[in-house]
Homo-oligomer: A and B are copies of this chain.
Amino acid sequence: MRNEFLALGLAAMLAGCATEPAGTAVEPSSRYAFWRPAPVAGAPDPNAAVSEAPADAWRPIDPADLLVMELKEGGRVVIELAPEFAPVHVANIRALARGGWWNGAAVYRVQDNYVAQWGNNEAPVPMPAGVVKAPPAEYDRPLAGLSVRPLGFPDAYAPMVGHSGGWPVGYDPEGGRAWLAHCYGMVGVGRDLAPDTGTGGELYAVIGHAPRHLDLNIALIGRVIEGMGLLSARARGTEALGFYKEPALHVGIARIRLAADIPAAERPAFEVLRSDSDSFSRFVTGRANRGGDFFQRPAGGVDLCNALVPVRKKQ
């Protein structure tokens, strides 16, 4: 078994070295094949893995880590913050929420297959005291101190990918660094050119195929866990980068608050499936090996952004 494995792996290694002339017909041979695990027969149903997860496989989200955006038209977008990855930016965001900085702000940019972005960019507003104007480049952090569950499948962008504390991460075991990945629904900090890292006032959510080339180049601060459709189903802006041409198209934000600042009776509450739980491992195996009546051929793999950690409203 190990020998077969080695032989296939050697072919995989040589694959990346070869430079294939453009337009050459590819013959059936293994010389380009990258190594990946084999499909798993009889894998768990991923939805059942979640619905059957025991109570202790879930962790509650701290109300200080929940950002609640209410739109003027009605509807609510809830974002889980990731202070363990971008502490200065998250502290800024908490200060901006507490200072009411986004109350009256707007979604002003929606670019198809990319991002929806909001803040006060189109009509600047002074920031409350305590906001760090030039935060450090919180694009990655030490791997040490995290408990990462390796995904187990190859990735085009990072040496390794997996999940830590419920977050999709890329990491480099050699260099000892880890970073959040730009999956669907992840929220990042708009910025200008280097060395600007943005304050956290202008935020965007990914609404298309994961733009992973942004990883390590922008501070990600969390992810949308409720109300994605209120951002993703917007008319696309017609200006460059999806900015709305007419201010009338802006989507008004009534207010953004931390859940911790909302009276307990009205406060939304959520739980995340622990990414170090057996239930999450069953979920990943199931996502990588879809079965049931519909699927004829399981892939034997799943990419990081198709294995996002399940979240549910707290009962």
Residues of B within 8 A of A10 (CB): 6, 9, 13
Would A34 and B297 count as touching, CB distance under 8 A? Answer: no
Residues of B within 8 A of A302 (CB): 156-157, 213
What are 28 A-B residue pairs whose CB atoms fall within 8 Å in the complex?
A: A8-B13, A9-B9, A15-B160, A16-B152, A20-B149, A20-B150, A25-B147, A25-B148, A26-B147, A28-B174, A28-B176, A32-B150, A32-B173, A33-B160, A34-B34, A34-B35, A35-B35, A36-B154, A113-B228, A113-B232, A139-B297, A156-B302, A194-B293, A208-B232, A213-B299, A217-B294, A232-B236, A233-B236
Would A13 and B22 count as touching, CB distance under 8 A? Answer: no
Residues of B within 8 A of A138 (CB): none
Would B26 and A303 count as touching, CB distance under 8 A? Answer: no
Interface of A is mostly: loop
Would A147 and B112 count as touching, CB distance under 8 A? Answer: no
Apart from A16-B37, A32-B173, A110-B233, what are 13 other A-B pairs with CB-CB below 8 Å? A12-B35, A15-B160, A25-B146, A26-B171, A33-B172, A34-B159, A113-B185, A139-B297, A156-B303, A158-B299, A213-B287, A217-B290, A233-B233
Would B213 and A210 count as touching, CB distance under 8 A? Answer: no
- Whether a CB of chain B sits under 8 angstroms from the CB of A76 is no
